[in-house]
Amino acid sequence: MVRNSLFKSFIFCLLCGVVLSSTAHRYFFGLTDLSVNPKNNNIEVIHQLTAHDIDNAIAEQQQIHFSPEHPAYEKLIQNYVEAHFQLIDMRDNKQNVIKLNWIGFEIAKGNVYIYQEANFENYLSGIVVKNDLLVDTYPKQVNTVNYKDGTIIGSLTFSTSVKTSKIAIIRNND
């Protein structure tokens, strides 16, 4: 009797684990905040990505076991982000990639927060954003870039089919 009860409990726990693991991560998304600091006119960029998603993407790309314990963890994340996220200044009909300086990153509550900034004297209006973070690894990945400076506010959405978009003028009613 006890043995039968233990077996039923084991099967129940096993089934619960399968159900939970199959529904644990259905949505793949990244958030980026892009703003201009009014004190120094620097563009500030903050990316938020699910930690195990970026770990898996880098592991697949580099063909390595990749986790926060890896000795080159920050450098590999930096290289990945710099290859998959760019801001491009289109003034004067030229494509000038805006150099984003790496500030650092932190891991909190299962997310990686990545910080970048750039010296840029102009407004965000007309800048082209390239964002294909994680879309090669996760075809359902959706990345949202929220942007704001002294004159405009808005958001852009990126996916497997949309990897670049231009910031348009949207008036801020504040």
Range in 43-47, 48-52, 88-92, 129-133 the model is least confident about: 88-92
pLDDT of residue 3: 52
Q: Contact at 8 Å (CB) between 59 and 66?
A: yes
| Strand (E) or helix (H) holding 36 | strand 29-36
The mean pLDDT value for 140-154 works out to 94
Percent of the residues in the chain that have a pLDDT greater than 90, as a whole number: 70
- What are the tens digits of pLDDT across the range 14-40? 444 443 333 455 778 999 999 999 899
The yes-or-no verdict on residue 1 having pLDDT over 60 is no
Q: Which amino acid, one-letter code, is at 126?
A: G
pLDDT score for 23: 41
Among candidate residues 145, 99, 146, 91, the one with its CA nearest the CA of residue 118: 99
* pTM assigned to the model: 0.81
Write out the two tokens for 69. 């314990």
pLDDT tens for each residue of 90-140: 877 888 999 999 999 999 999 999 999 999 888 899 899 999 999 999 999
SS3 of the chain: helix, strand, coil, percent, to 5:
30, 35, 35
Nearest to 77 by CA among 106, 100, 97, 98: 106
Q: What are the boundaries of each domain within the chain?
A: 29-166
